[in-house]
Amino acid sequence: MRPRRSLLLALFAVTGCQAISGASDLRTGTPTGTTTTSGTGGVGGQGLELAEYGATIAECVYPSQPDPAQCEQSVGFGRMVIDTGTPIGPVNAYVAFRTDAAFAGGSVVGVELRLVAASEPEADGPASGEVFEVEPFTVPSLDLQVPQPLGLRLAPDQGAVHPGDTAAWALPAGLVGPDTDVFLGIFPGSNDGVRYWNGDGAVPPRLVVYWH
């Protein structure tokens, strides 16, 4: 289900929005990139600006055997998976972002995490995963242990994801600040897992900040 642009501000008032197909700027419908960008425009008559950030880290990890390289090897280069039913237990995805000063002095009204499912038929699944803020991590630290969730869930599962779909989660506006790091975990809700592109994939994860 595609969220209507006129409902964007309402969607940001709750912790979740539907998975959508096709990566686009929710203000204009134009394609978005994975580098930091900014611009002006409006949603439902509301003038907003945005900054878009590509992930600095995007990996999957088996908590029972922490090793991001092993996880990527199990699903293919440029991919990460979430799944509750692998032979060695569940597998989670972890993404990190670094914001800049683009929205310093502004008022953040919405934050959105976007992950794009890989293109192969096996990438689909009935559950997109749910999002938590997690402990800070680095790629080397993911070889030692998985970061633990901090507090309550930020956004619920968005339902089924098909190959090439963009899964989008609306996150609390207070999650981000200028020049800060954001650490998120995507946890599976099904033993029929979803494969997303990771930081080396065709469409890396993105964090979009809307402000005025």
What is the per-residue pLDDT across 52-82, written as a single tens digit (0 to 9) for each? 999 999 999 999 999 999 999 999 999 999 9
The span from the CA of 108 to the CA of 212, in Å, is 7
In whole angstroms, give the CA distance from residue 57 to residue 177: 18
Q: Residue 73 in 3-state DSSP?
A: helix
Quote the pLDDT of residue 48.
Answer: 87
How many CB atoms lie under 10 A from the CB of residue 85? 12
- 139: three-class secondary structure by DSSP: helix
121 vs 162: CA distance, rounded Å: 8
Whether residue 102 has pLDDT greater than 60: yes
**27 in Cβ contact with 43 (< 8 Å):** yes
Burial class (CB in 10 A: 0-12, 13-18, 19+), 106: middle
The tens digit of pLDDT for each residue in 167-184 reads: 999 999 999 999 999 999
Note the pTM of the prediction, 2 decimals: 0.81
